[in-house]
Amino acid sequence: MTAASAVGRRVLLAFPRSFCAGVERAIATVEKALELFGPPVYVRRQIVHNSFVVEALEKRGVVFVNEIEQVPEEAVVIFSAHGVAPAVRSQAMARSLRTIDATCPLVTKVHHEARRLAAAGFEILLLGQEGHDEVVGVIGEAPDHVRVVDGPDQVDALDVRDVNKVAWLSQTTLAVDETRDMVDQLGERFPALVGPPSDDICYAAQNRQNAVKAMASEADLVLVVGSGNSHNSNRLVHVAIQSGAGAAHLVESAGKIDEAWLTGVTTVGLTSGASVPDLLVRQVLHWLARRGYEHVEELHAARERQVFALPNELTRPRLAVL
């Protein structure tokens, strides 16, 4: 055995974790499309940001592409959970593609807000990660009105057209506290700042962050299962460190854990991003148990009951096939 004595070793297992309703809907959308149309089914970009999920779907006949031009004319193409710009929809129409929209409804809400605010003449400050698929899609709704603010250090350098016509929106997977701080900064600079009717950060991201906050001060090490390109998974690592964890690491799977991280560790906090199948978490639990961390304590921060219906294109299959 490595690290400290096995006596007293434990795992704090976060709830909620893994798939959120938007991710479940997106994956179910692809599976239903395969059932209705048969392979190949095309998906623009990764349906969700998780390599295990993507590879599993590829084995079933799903083809992931970067751009619409890579999809054969009249084929079935699915828009990922992160959403797309209107220009992408126009490109798909021009190629006579049968489109299915798997955009998370909470992301769709941000798109609606961007259009509404732009139509009212606001300059929109979009809090989010430059280049992220979700951010690119929102910008596409009103490119002349939306500017990305990628971190609090960019707030002071902002120069807007009209200080009385400024609004903010945010990427759904941002850290709650960081977003609140940036909004406060913006409010100090622009007293007439307008925000969305409700916070843009999705319930799933917030719940998973709250669970990490609750465990962090007790954890010598927090392991977050997720892919490197998953923004919400990366934010959980950041939240763990900010909330007092001794250390925190993002790992794609149990095989990616460095056993040296366990040196001197008594309590391991374990969670996963919203795009991660719980199977990968169970494999990490098994890996930890074989190293003496057999005692598992569940930490419940919230109960999630949200369910999103499948896209209309799949609930009306006769129309979809035409």
Kindly state the tokens that stand for 250. 């993002």
CB within 8 Å of 216: residues ≥ 6 apart: 222, 239, 240, 241, 243, 244, 245, 248, 269
Is there a catalytic annotation at residue 298?
no
134, 141, 178, 252: which is the annotated catalytic residue?
134
CB within 8 Å of 203: residues ≥ 6 apart: 20, 106, 304, 306
Backbone angles phi, psi at 243, to 5 degrees: -95, 5
Q: DSSP letter at 101?
A: E
Long-range contacts (CB closer than 8 Å, 24 or more residues apart) made by 30-34: 30/57, 30/62, 30/78, 30/102, 32/310, 32/314, 33/76, 33/78, 33/100, 33/314, 34/60, 34/61, 34/62
List active site positions.
134
